[in-house]
Amino acid sequence: MTANRYDPAFPKQRGKPWIALGIVALTMVVAVFANQLVLHDPEAVDPANALLPPVLFEGGLLEYPLGTDRLGRDILSRVMLGTRISLSIAAMALAFGGIVGVVLGMIAGYRGGWVDVVIMRLADSFLAFPSVLIALVLAVTIGARMELVALVLGLVLWARFARLIRGEVLTWKERDFVALARVSGATGRYIMIRHLLPNVANSLVVLATLQVGWAIVVEASLTFLGAGVPPPTPTWGGMVAEGLDFIESAWWISLMPGIAILLVVFAFNVLGDWLRDKLDPQLRSV
Amino acid sequence: MTSADTLLQVNDLTVEVKGARGVGRAVDGVSFGISAGETLGVVGESGSGKSLTCLSVIRLNPKPASRIASGSIRFDGRELLELDAEGLRAYRGREIAMILQDPMTSLNPVLTIGDQIREALKLHRGLSRADETRVAEDLLARLRVPEPHRVLRSYPHELSGGMRQRVVGAIALAGRPRLLIADEPTTALDVTVQAAYLALLRKLQREEGLAILFVTHDLGAVARICDRVAVMYGGRIVESATTATFFSGAAHPYSRALLRSLPDVSKPPERLEPIPGQPPSVFAARKGCLFADRCPEVQARCRELEPPQSSVAEGHFVHCWARQP
């Protein structure tokens, strides 16, 4: 009956995504300990060593493994600090969008009727929301700030969460245990928190993991366009933009943060897919 | 029918349902009463309105698909239809509890059995954590669940269907209700498990003086547990009698047809008699007796006028033109 014991009659369908897990774990460590791990001050300018190529190329120095940018700043250190910025923004956006989305999605699904209609039409309109345009407008009017980027992402994210949670709640609330909880005098809020939330938790985790990659890419895009985190704070999108002018002579300035985006987004998506298969109630042992 | 010790008295209850074809009457002027310690069986085929009737008693009828249009539901002298949501909560669980058909979906898959029983105890009794566990174990033991201590820590998927239904019973009894509404509680169980479960309900009922509203389409279960039977057809009660009277001398043609469609194991196998035709649609015109089209004893007036209630004997009522004195 225990689900964990390995049964040769049911071979595992897929191995654990060790590479993706490794990348995510490494990303987390780098994000938390960026200040302790960097070789150089990411914002220290060193004109004597400007535009150095990565260590394996001609003229590269071991001191600057991934090369330097036009001001002689260490690219590795800047990518590492950028990890923290990118993940913090993704985390803030997910926290905001996730909490708002779960609360509204639950209420919409459980209450139904006009409440459902109002919330879901609102969600539809936020999904149709031109986030890049709004971010540009906010950047111009209020000024580009990290919190604003997270807010703009969250405004789209909540609608995605609300949609998913509403759909799940619609199926779960028809189960008899919800009716029985009502017979035993439980309030709507109690049923939502105690009975429905734990049942939608799996889907929630999967969606959140898959949205991390989306948040990182959009944040990088916004910063690339100048509507995101302002310089000199190192961010992946900002670094890609900075390197554009030198793309023919010093390609590494743009490529290195680009690789970081690719790897992290890829890892989170693989992890999300794996979690979805793993947590799918259809595939779980009953 | 009203007497001093009547716990639940339902009078002229009408429930309307909304559909693509308009508004229909799924429950049409139903009246019945249950006393403490008594089991009333409500029988009928699918769509006869029996489940909706008992869901409506506790105002759990699906909304906005259905609506209690008129009638009165008195519990211990108090009109339940006048209560607001807050007032109703005081009755749910504490006074009236429920067991539903499917033990697979009656329990929350992500909470342990202990969590779910304790939840019911917390909502109704306000015990300390240690007391809750002790009372929960007692409840399981009373429902003859082996190793209650271990079961408390199990999840629903680790138990068999029969065990789950006993757990559902334990949760229902946690609030020490006076009325138990059981909506086909044995339908999803194996035949042997059914018998044991019914015997258990009977025992608990005697111990607690519990009134049971037992909804079923299984006449075998009726014979085992019910004191009185109400037969529903097309949203109306067409006959009500004591269980003994019902099995020996059912008066309504529909009741007789139901009994004839049962196999009798004591005789050599013969062809069972199905009831010809289909039950009426909820949305069909409600004129005359709804069983007229399928009735072997149909008369001209059956199609025109709704048959009034007539008394066959003490406590035995029937709605049928062919049984008019």
Q: What residue ranges define each of the domains in chain A, with the CATH number in brackets?
A: 86-279 (1.10.3720.10)
Neighbours of B281 (CB within 10 A): 12
Neighbours of A34 (CB within 10 A): 20
CA closest to B121 among chain A residues: A184
Answer yes or no: is pLDDT of B40 > 90: yes
H/E run at residue B40: strand B39-43
Averaged pLDDT, B127-147: 85
Higher pLDDT, A43 or A163: A163
pLDDT value of residue A5 = 52
pLDDT value of residue A12 = 53
Averaged pLDDT, A74-92: 88
Q: Residue B59's domain is classified under what CATH number?
A: 3.40.50.300
H/E run at residue B116: helix B113-124
Answer yes or no: is pLDDT of B186 > 90: no
Those residues whose C-beta lies under 8 Å from the C-beta of residue B16, and which sit 6 or more positions away, are B23, B24, B25, B26, B66, B67, B69
Question: Considering only CB atoms, which chain A residues are within 8 Å of B102?
Answer: 176
pLDDT value of residue A1 = 42
Beta bridge partners of A146: none
pLDDT value of residue B77 = 85
* Cα B241 from chain centre: 16
Answer yes or no: is pLDDT of A116 > 80: yes
Those residues whose C-beta lies under 8 Å from the C-beta of residue A159, and which sit 6 or more positions away, are A101, A122, A123, A124, A126, A127, A129
CA closest to B181 among chain A residues: A183
Whether A183 sits inside 8 A of B123 (CB atoms) is no
The parent domain of residue B23 ranges over 6-95+177-265+273-323
Averaged pLDDT, A215-233: 81
Instruction: Give the count of domains, chain B.
Output: 1
Question: Considering only CB atoms, which chain B residues are within 8 Å of A182?
Answer: 60, 92
Question: Considering only CB atoms, which chain B residues are within 8 Å of A180?
Answer: 98, 100, 106, 168, 171-172
pLDDT tens readout for residues A44-67: 777 777 777 787 777 777 778 887
Beta bridge partners of B212: B39, B180
Whether A1 sits inside 8 A of B123 (CB atoms) is no
pLDDT tens readout for residues A227-275: 777 777 788 888 888 888 888 888 888 889 889 889 988 888 888 888 8
pLDDT value of residue B121 = 85
Q: Helical H runs in A128-251?
A: 131-141, 146-172, 176-183, 188-190, 197-224, 236-243
H/E run at residue B201: helix B191-208
Nearest to B218 by CA among B252, B195, B250, B251: B195
Beta strand pairing call for B309-313 and B316-319: antiparallel
Q: Does A3 touch chain B (CB under 8 A)?
A: no
Burial class (CB in 10 A: 0-12, 13-18, 19+), B45: middle
**What 3-state DSSP class applies to A250?**
coil
* Res. B2 pLDDT band, cuts 50 70 90: very low
Alpha-carbon gap, residue A201 to B39, rounded angstroms: 41
Omega of the bond prior to B109 within 30 degrees of 0, cis?
no
B35 within domain boundaries: yes
Neighbours of B303 (CB within 10 A): 14
Whether B106 sits inside 8 A of A186 (CB atoms) is no
Q: Does B157 touch chain A (CB under 8 A)?
A: yes
Q: Does A280 touch chain B (CB under 8 A)?
A: no
Question: Considering only CB atoms, which chain B residues are within 8 Å of A179?
Answer: 60, 98, 100
pLDDT value of residue B4 = 53
Nearest to B272 by CA among B282, B284, B260: B260
Opening angle at CA A204, ends A198 and A207, nearest 5: 165
H/E run at residue B215: strand B211-216
Mutate to test the interface with B, among A177, A178, A200 (most CBs of B within 10 A): A177
pLDDT tens readout for residues A133-184: 887 888 788 777 788 888 888 988 999 999 999 999 998 888 888 888 887 7
B25 within domain boundaries: yes
Answer yes or no: is pLDDT of B113 > 80: yes
Q: Which of residues 64-103 of B touch A (CB under 8 A)?
A: 64, 89-90, 92-94, 96-98, 100-102
Nearest to B164 by CA among B217, B238, B101: B101
B167 in Cβ contact with B154 (< 8 Å): no
* Res. A104 pLDDT band, cuts 50 70 90: very high
Q: Which of residues 245-274 of A touch B (CB under 8 A)?
A: none
Whether A184 sits inside 8 A of B97 (CB atoms) is yes
pLDDT value of residue B23 = 85
Number of A to B CB contacts under 8 A, please give it.
66
B188 within domain boundaries: yes
Q: What is the mean pLDDT of chain A?
A: 82
B49 within domain boundaries: yes
CA closest to A175 among chain B residues: B105
**What 3-state DSSP class applies to B287?**
coil
Q: What is the mean pLDDT of chain B?
A: 85
Averaged pLDDT, B76-97: 85
Task: Select from B89, B101, B157 the Cβ nearest to the Cβ of A286.
Answer: B157
Whether B105 sits inside 8 A of A195 (CB atoms) is no
B86 within domain boundaries: yes
Answer yes or no: is pLDDT of B229 > 90: yes
pTM summary value: 0.74
- End-to-end CA gap in chain B: 20
Averaged pLDDT, B16-44: 88
